[in-house]
A and B are shown apart, each in its own frame.
Chain A
């Protein structure tokens, strides 16, 4: 199965955040294995309903633990809160890695 890595670093109020979510949804619909990492301002959008709705469809959702800590956001099961080693794994091991900033 093809693997797609998506990194989003802008906040949920930005069009690029939506573009990233839409790409994830479209890829999941085509049977792609999708890994999405929320970095920087995007950690504020982890609980976005559109994003959360993709988890039952197979989306592997990660978020920057450091970014959440910096912003005083709770680290809970809304995503797998992780460090940059996960981004490194995604860049290296997915077939395509794209970013929305």
Chain B
């Protein structure tokens, strides 16, 4: 069975045939929690789009729980209109994968950009900085984009 037959089409693009670190395959532990902390502006840099791509690709393998937090201008990634964002196709392609996981994307409470979202494409939950710090403490790893 080929990778294209076992993976969603969008994922075959980002998971080419790979040399697997076979020495790691035999080890198991409690599933880690990886938090993507996205603070960069998707109108100016590809980093938020890359974060969404990597979050979707990482979580799909079910070896880690993945959560995404958007802060400040990064909240625009959830907006109804992404045409003016860098690598906008990543948002339209990979955000639906995150949506299927059934938990909301976390966003900065009171962020000024929230009003600019229009009809948000993905469910989100606003959390304040105290709650963010608690959730960061619970994460096994934090990846900042």
Q: Which residues of A contact B (CB under 8 A)?
A: 3, 7, 9, 35, 39-40, 60, 62, 65-66, 80-94, 97-99, 101
> Is B57's beta carbon under 8 Å from chain A?
yes
Residues of A within 8 A of B19 (CB): 80, 82, 86
Partner of A99, one of B16, B25, B144: B144
Residues of B within 8 A of A93 (CB): 21, 24-25, 27-29
Which A-chain residue is minimally distant from B50 (CB atoms)?
A40
Supposing A97-B140, A99-B142, A99-B144 touch, asked if A85 and B24 sit within 8 A by C-beta, the answer is no
> Is B109's beta carbon under 8 Å from chain A?
no
Residues of A within 8 A of B61 (CB): 84-85, 88
A/B interface sample: 12 pairs, CB < 8 A: A9-B50, A9-B145, A66-B13, A66-B16, A82-B20, A84-B58, A84-B60, A85-B57, A92-B28, A99-B141, A99-B143, A99-B144
Residues of A within 8 A of B54 (CB): 39-40, 84, 87
> Is B32's beta carbon under 8 Å from chain A?
yes
Q: Is the CB of B63 within 8 A of A91?
A: yes
Partner of B64, one of A65, A66, A82, A92: A92
> Is B74's beta carbon under 8 Å from chain A?
no
Supposing A83-B16, A83-B57, A101-B143 touch, asked if A60 and B63 sit within 8 A by C-beta, the answer is no
What total of chain B residues lie within 8 Å of the partner, measured CB to CB?
A: 31
Q: Is the CB of A66 within 8 A of B14?
A: yes
Supposing A39-B54, A93-B27 touch, asked if A86 and B141 sit within 8 A by C-beta, the answer is no
Residues of A within 8 A of B2 (CB): none
* CA of A97 to CA of B32, assembled, Å: 10
Q: Is the CB of B143 within 8 A of A65?
A: no
* CA of A99 to CA of B34, assembled, Å: 11
Looking at A35, A60, A82, A89, the one whose CB has the most chain B CB atoms below 10 A away is A89
Q: Is the CB of B145 within 8 A of A60?
A: no
- The 0/1 profile, CB within 8 Å of A marked 1, for residues 21-40 of chain B is 10011011101101000000
Q: Is the CB of A91 within 8 A of B32?
A: yes
Q: Is the CB of B143 within 8 A of A90?
A: no
Partner of A88, one of B47, B64, B144: B64
Residues of A within 8 A of B92 (CB): none
Q: Is the CB of B18 within 8 A of A98?
A: no
